[in-house]
Structure 1
Amino acid sequence: MRRDVSEKKALVVRGGWEGHQPVETTELFIPFLERSGYDVRVEESTHVYADATAMSGTDLVVQCVTMSEISADELKGLAGAVAAGTGLTGWHGGIADSFRASSDYLHLVGGQFATHPGKDPCERRGGQEDNYLPHTIDITDLGREHPVTADLGDFALDTEQYWVLHDDLIDVLATTTHPTRPWQPWQRPVVSPAIWTRNWGAGRVVVTTPGHSVDVLENPNVRTVIERGMLWATRTASAS
């Protein structure tokens, strides 16, 4: 029997490294989800992924779990739900630096944090700001037409700039370029995906790499991308 697709259910899963403020950052978006007609459930661990009943009734997973570990049953539940139509989205380390030991998770999301280049060593003071660099998020031609990023122009940030390892199954909506610097070992600029989508079975995945802290997520461009990504990733009627 088909589910009533007007009753959208979102599952917010948060935890992992506290430096990414999983509670504070996810709380920014829960009111948006509720205003958009979602019934929102919040879980403080990934245990829910192994609950087949809960996952089959979920239209959207918003994940904010940096590093940490995931069990085989939990990953099987998450990947199976996405393949069956559940949307998956998140930002920064909460989705692109999750479960480093799991190659199957990397296969699901299509890209993984490798590093965030830092400032000149003589400018570093030992805090997170050592890795804050001014950079631009450049919308691709595909991104200028895609519902998640349409009508947005390129925008500048001064925060962590993710260098991502990825495969060719992702659809890149925005990139960022890591320039050459005297203190870095690479010899030419490197273009890295900054925002991407991925179709996985009947499901949709959206990854937004900016989002290190609350202030970055409050940037109007970043917030717009994440909120649109939630709506776009949500289970479609054809997947119900």
Structure 2
Amino acid sequence: MTRKNALVVRGGWEGHQPVRATELFLPFLRANGYAVRIEESTEVYADADAMAGTDLVVQCVTMSQIGAEELAGLSAAVVAGTGFTGWHGGIADSFRAASDYLHLVGGQFATHPGKEPCERQGVQEDNYLPHTVNITELGRDHPVTAGVGDFELHTEQYWVLHDELIDVLATTTHPTRPWQPWHRPVTCPAVWTRQWGAGRVVVTTPGHSLDVLEHPAVRTIIERGMLWATRTASAS
């Protein structure tokens, strides 16, 4: 087995438990032959030598900010073949003020619709709604999602703004509800990939809490995404 180098970058909003969430996947990475480096900030992205030797970046940094040199380093690494992946706000709601980051990832969290206002109690669960994640036709044959059936979740359902350069492996549909301002169902990507230069990007939007990350379908998709995104021989 050829040894690969994985860089886990975590931080940002503590509500997504970046340490505990990433720790769930460290045994998987090591069992699959990765040497794992863990960083608690994005400063490593500005280290060109470190990034050149990285085959996969697993990011869990919600919101927060990123320096210009750090973002340039991350983007250059992906263009050169470093894989980039993550879940939920750790990748799809990172660095909101950095347009080049949004361009790299291809989709951005906009909101997670909530319960009827009279049912809300000022807690995270106000935004937990039952919903379905539907595997697309493309997703049924893709290595990241092949064999995974449609599945149900009761958690945050991300509404994502995105462009047409992503390959959508799974979707989720926001229905119309009397207390919401939209007037027809809206289908958003829930899992997607993106080719960026020689690099592969994989985004999985479910993953707000540890129990969601441990859901068999979600965990399978995230773990397969790590393997698939990893630098290929042709990108070396």
Relative to the length of structure 1, the TM-score reads: 0.98
Partner amino acid for 1:145?
Answer: D
- Any residues of structure 2 matched to 1:87-98 within 5 Å, and which? 87-98=83-94
Structure 1, residues 105-134: CA drift from partner, whole Å, max 9, x if none? 000000000000000011111100000000
Match of 1:57 among 41, 53, 59: 53
Question: Structure 2: which 5+ residue stretches go unaligned?
Answer: none
Partner amino acid for 2:107?
Answer: G
Partner amino acid for 1:18?
Answer: E
Match of 1:175 among 157, 171, 175: 171
1:48 is the counterpart of 2:54: no
How far is 1:88 from its partner?
Answer: 0.1
Structure 1, residues 53-81: CA drift from partner, whole Å, max 9, x if none? 00000000000000000010000000000
Match of 1:195 among 188, 191, 198: 191
- Any residues of structure 2 matched to 1:67-216 within 5 Å, and which? 67-216=63-212
User: Which residue in 2 is equivalent to 1:231?
Assistant: 227
1:25 is the counterpart of 2:21: yes
Query: In 1, Cα distance between the equivalents of 2:228 and 2:3?
Result: 16
Relative to the length of structure 2, the TM-score reads: 0.99
Aligned-residue CA RMSD (Å): 0.6
* 3-state SS in 1 of match to 2:165: coil
Partner amino acid for 1:218?
Answer: E
How far is 1:6 from its partner?
Answer: 1.3
Query: In 1, Cα distance between the equivalents of 2:28 and 2:12?
Result: 23
Query: In 2, Cα distance between the equivalents of 1:18 and 1:150?
Result: 32
Query: In 2, Cα distance between the equivalents of 1:67 and 1:186?
Result: 26
* 3-state SS in 2 of match to 1:136: strand
* 3-state SS in 2 of match to 1:204: strand
Question: Structure 1: which 5+ residue stretches go unaligned?
Answer: none
How far is 1:216 from its partner?
Answer: 0.3
Query: In 1, Cα distance between the equivalents of 2:231 and 2:171?
Result: 26
Query: What count of residue pairs does the alignment treat as equivalent?
Result: 236
User: Which residue in 1 is equivalent to 2:217?
Assistant: 221
Partner amino acid for 2:168?
Answer: V
User: Which residue in 2 is equivalent to 1:13?
Assistant: 9
1:37 is the counterpart of 2:45: no
Partner amino acid for 1:180?
Answer: T
Partner amino acid for 1:8?
Answer: K
Percent identity between the aligned chains?
Answer: 81
